[in-house]
């Protein structure tokens, strides 16, 4: 009799899992459809308002922006400028996140080091990052190196602060328990500190992606003859509103795509939760 009961419970559990999966799939489809509907409605309203009610000089039109994108893509200029910006962003993000993670981990594990350098880190972090752009131009020139440095500095602080907070947030009970059973420092780092800090680190990485792009573009605004920032600045100087919006649209799309990739990575790394 107990075996029959267990079989029925197993079948019910399987049905429940399937029902939850179907419900989740339908919800994702509904959300995606709603997102498409909101976007299309916004574009139609924009197209309708621009011209009769608002001067297109100030807001352009979706049709004009699309035509500008097609023109830039057809000439190859869009991909040339985008590749420069992405190269500087990826390199700056990689450098800033690596140094930020290593420094944050060190400060989180060695309290003496954190106490000594805390006022200096706080002082530098308090500086408006855009104010550092002229200094980077003086140090690295007007080439791509100054844009990489700008992106790296912005990413460094975001990843550093999140990593430091994650490492310090580890529950001391878990650490002490591992020490009682004779775990080594490496085992504590692997099985306690790292899993606990992962969420914080990934949050820092997700937040820093758009800021890395912002840092690169700001550097291109100030001194560059290539990149999406230069393309937007050039369009602005020529009063080409459609060109400005086209550049902004490309940057927004790239940022959203990278962020979605990081969310997938986060979901995979945090499966243990």
* 239 backbone dihedrals φ, ψ, rounded to 5°: 55, 35
Q: CA 182 → CA 4, 176, 177, distances in Å? A: 46, 10, 9
Interior angle at CA 67, CA 53 and CA 57, nearest 5: 35
Residue 208 predicted with pLDDT over 60: yes
Digit-coded pLDDT (tens) for 184-207: 767 777 777 777 777 788 888 888
CATH 1.10.3720.10 fits 60-269, yes or no: yes
d(CA 118, CA 32): 45
Digit-coded pLDDT (tens) for 98-145: 999 888 888 887 888 888 888 888 888 887 777 787 888 888 888 888
Token readout for 80 is 């040339």
What pLDDT, on a 0 to 100 scale, did the predictor assign at position 204?
A: 81
């Amino acid at each position: 009799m107990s075996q029959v009961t267990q079989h029925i419970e197993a079948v019910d559990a399987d049905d429940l899992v399937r029902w939850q999966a179907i419900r989740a799939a339908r919800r994702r489809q509904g959300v995606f459809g709603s997102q498409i509907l909101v976007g299309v409605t916004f574009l139609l309203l924009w197209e309708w308002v621009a011209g009769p009610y608002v001067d297109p000089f100030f807001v352009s039109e979706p049709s004009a922006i699309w035509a500008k994108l097609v023109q830039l893509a057809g000439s190859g200029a869009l991909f040339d400028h985008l590749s420069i910006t992405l190269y500087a962003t990826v390199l700056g993000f990689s450098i800033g996140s690596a140094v930020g993670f290593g420094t944050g981990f060190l400060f989180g594990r060695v309290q003496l080091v954190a106490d000594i350098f805390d006022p200096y880190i706080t002082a530098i972090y308090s500086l408006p990052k855009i104010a550092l752009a002229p200094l980077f131009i003086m140090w690295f020139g007007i080439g791509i190196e100054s844009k990489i440095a700008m992106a790296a500095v912005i990413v460094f602080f975001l990843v550093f602060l999140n990593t430091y907070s994650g490492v310090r947030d580890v529950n001391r009970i878990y650490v002490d328990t591992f020490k009682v059973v004779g775990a080594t420092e490496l085992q504590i780092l692997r099985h306690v500190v790292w899993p606990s800090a992962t969420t914080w680190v990934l949050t820092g990485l997700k937040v820093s992606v758009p800021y890395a792009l912002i840092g690169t573009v700001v550097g291109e605004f100030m001194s560059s003859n290539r990149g999406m920032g230069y393309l937007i600045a050039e369009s602005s100087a020529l009063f080409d509103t459609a060109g400005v919006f086209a550049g902004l649209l490309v940057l927004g799309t790239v940022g959203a795509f990278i962020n979605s990739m990081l969310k997938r990575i986060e979901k995979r790394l945090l499966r243990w939760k």
